[in-house]
Structure 1
Amino acid sequence: MGGGAETSVEFVNLRSRPVIVYWLDYQGRRRQYAVLQPSASYRQHTYVGHPWLVTDGRGRPLVCFEPTRTPGRAVIR
């Protein structure tokens, strides 16, 4: 099981509290990659077809993002 073409996603936290960024692995399990503080951002190297989940600090889902061939930007509000 592999991903598609290489790409990237810039995650941007516009919320007033930290958020947690996870990659969902091939079994659908959360794999934590980052904790983003308010107003913070970071760019994640990834592959087309690899889903990413962003949650609040308690693990409640806020948004799921699936990368495309064009580098993307996931703004969390």
Structure 2
Amino acid sequence: MSRSAPENPRSINHSTRSFLRFFNNTERKVDVIWLNYEGQNVKFKTLSPGGFVDVNTYVTHPWIFIDSETKDRLVVKSGQVFLPEPWYTRYLGLPRNQLQQTQIQRTHVFITIPLFSLRQRALQIVRNNLVNPEDAYKLEIPKELQNELAKLIKESNETPFGIVYEEGW
């Protein structure tokens, strides 16, 4: 079970660890993003479709997941921000003798595509065929949709990362 994320998520110092395995359950390349102590996006790894990465983190370190190409947010357990549970949560209630013989397992976290509304999905498809936000205003569609489409194009053209690190940091 994941906890609800704060309004402005960022990492906070904490000593309780969490051992995770993020699985990309999409057909898309996924950027795994850690939110640092200032709330900036830090790219940890790009996962291929069906790929996974093992992460040792802390319970107060939030993670987000972004489609590498479109920059659309992806979800874990229907949420856009994932806060890990303590590593020992799954072992609570086990008898001591059984606990001593148990090997600690990573918590599996499955990254999926959210259920988009038909309107949102249609805007994404049109956005994927345009280059500049100004292109939205050339389409013969209502002004409200032009504005929304221009915003989507602008967001997909911007890099969502503060600092970029390679695997192994």
Q: Which amino acid aligns with 1:69?
A: P
**Aligned with 2:53: secondary structure?**
strand
Give the equivalent residue in structure 1 for 2:22: 11
* TM-score normalised to structure 1 length: 0.87
Residues 54 and 20 of structure 1, relative CA distance in 2, 3 Å threshold: same
Q: Which amino acid aligns with 2:31?
A: I
List gaps (5 residues or longer) in structure 1: none
Taking only aligned residues, the RMSD between alpha carbons, in angstroms, comes to 1.4
User: Going by fraction, where is helix more abundant, 1 or 2?
Assistant: 2
- Radius of gyration: which is bigger? 2
Matched, 1:65 2:82: yes
User: Going by fraction, where is strand more abundant, 1 or 2?
Assistant: 1
Matched, 1:39 2:50: yes
Runs of 4+ aligned structure 1 residues displaced above 4 Å come to none
Q: Which amino acid aligns with 2:74?
A: L
Give the superposition deviation at 1:4: 3.7
CA contact (8 A) 1:65 1:74 kept: no
Residue among 50, 60, 63 paired with 2:61: 50
* TM-score normalised to structure 2 length: 0.43
Q: Which amino acid aligns with 1:74?
A: V
Give the equivalent residue in structure 2 for 1:76: 111
- Write out per-residue CA displacement over residues 12-60 of structure 1, whole angstroms, 9 at most, x where no aligned residue: 0111111000100122110000000001111101001110001111322
Q: Percent identity?
A: 30
Greater RCO between the two (CA within 8 Å, min separation 6)? 1
Q: For the residues of structure 1 that align with 2:26 and 2:17, how far apart are their CA atoms?
A: 28
Count of aligned residue pairs for this structure pair? 77
List gaps (5 residues or longer) in structure 2: 1-11, 76-80, 88-105, 113-169
